[in-house]
Amino acid sequence: MALRPSTVETATAEVFQDVLSGSSDGVLAIGLNETATAELLHSLDGMEDPPFVRLLTYESVLKWIREDFVTASVAAELVATNTLSAQMAEGPFENVLLVTDESVTAIISTKDDVVGLSTENPELVEGTRAYWEGLYKESGSFPLRTPAYSAVGDSLVAEFGPELVDDFRSMLDALESTRGQNPDEVVIALLVAAKHEKLLYDISRWGENIGIASKATFSREKMRLEEAGLIATEKVPVDVGRPRLRLLLGDERLRTEAAEEFVSVVRDELPAGVSP
């Protein structure tokens, strides 16, 4: 069997870029672990003209992706733009593979490097692709239950205007991940709303409608932020019913325009907590 020279890279993303940029007819991504799946998603997101990728991996890997709002919203965006389809299977996956119409690349990880060993042998490529396409069709779909990144931004602009969405995106970019961290997407939404002095009712309704979290979760996180002194509230009378609460920043350091500094202050001051 004739093998092309292998590509030896120091990051999985570079192997993905090599394979993805050379494919025009779609890619099967088989058996990727959590880190490799995240790298694949962000590699696709960074391409101007990405190929269509069918991802088949363990349910636990896809659940891990869903737990991080930043990466999950990128995945949802790729699904919405018909760039990605994610399926789950019990496995086991003997190999980690990227399969195109013209090549099969096995991804081998060592302590320091990621190696992509590729072959363009027609018989092997055809047989491998047919085998995994068959398993892909028999596998189960996986619900991301996370709004697409663009849908979040568009809805924020519609509800609150471009300045708020710019701050929200800057904070998420500074976080890189929300998995098990302070702050998460709910905390960021509340703090950005406080920076722009929006109503708790409006930001929690938006969050529930877009699918980020329930109004009850927003309310609980608001209380935690108040206890930490990061936000304050003032009552705003309404024509009918109880007064609503306007969110205000409680810590002057949060008035910074630097997203990294904003996130750092929150991490220093906010006790650990888990939003359901």
pLDDT in tens, 127-181: 999 999 999 999 989 998 899 999 999 999 999 999 999 999 998 888 877 877 6
Handedness of CA 11, 14, 16, 18 (dihedral sign): negative
pLDDT at 208 over 70: yes
- pLDDT of the residue at 129: 94
- Report the C-alpha gap between 197 and 256 in whole angstroms: 15
- pLDDT of the residue at 112: 67
Query: pLDDT per residue over 80-101, tens digit each?
Result: 999 999 999 887 888 899 999 9
CATH class assigned to 149-269: mainly alpha
- pLDDT of the residue at 111: 66
Q: Rounded to a whole number, what is the largest CA-CA distance in the chain? A: 78
Handedness of CA 251, 253, 156, 214 (dihedral sign): negative
- pLDDT of the residue at 2: 38
Report which secondary-structure segment, H or E, holds 55.
strand 53-57
The rounded Cα 113 to chain-centroid distance in angstroms is 25
- Report the C-alpha gap between 233 and 221 in whole angstroms: 13
Residue 68 tokens, joined: 């991080």
Q: How confident is the model at residue 25 (pLDDT cuts 50, 70, 90)?
A: confident
Query: CB–CB of 85/133 below 8 Å?
Result: no
Q: How confident is the model at residue 273 (pLDDT cuts 50, 70, 90)?
A: low
User: Helices marked H in the chain — which ranges?
Assistant: 12-21, 34-45, 59-66, 69-80, 122-138, 149-160, 162-175, 185-195, 200-210, 215-227, 259-269
- Report the C-alpha gap between 56 and 142 in whole angstroms: 10
Residue 90 tokens, joined: 């019990």
Tell me the pLDDT of the chain averaged across its residues.
87
- pLDDT of the residue at 117: 84
Is CATH 3.30.870.10 the classification given to domain 7-141?
yes
Reported for 91-96, long-range contacts at CB under 8 A and 24+ positions apart, including other chains, are 91/31, 91/58, 93/30, 93/31, 93/57, 93/58, 94/31, 95/30, 95/31, 96/30, 96/31, 96/32, 96/33, 96/36
pLDDT at 3 over 70: no
- Report the C-alpha gap between 126 and 196 in whole angstroms: 56
Question: Residue 243 burial (CB < 10 Å; 0-12/13-18/19+)?
Answer: exposed
pLDDT at 227 over 50: yes
Q: Which of 181, 183, 162 is nearest to 254 (CA)?
A: 183
Domain ranges of the chain: 7-141, 149-269
SS3 per residue for 128-162: HHHHHHHHHHHCEECCCCCCCHHHHHHHHHHHHCH
* Interacting residues of 207 by C-beta distance below 8 A, sequence separation 6+: 186, 189, 213, 214, 215, 217, 218
Residue 49 tokens, joined: 């003209």
pLDDT at 274 over 50: no
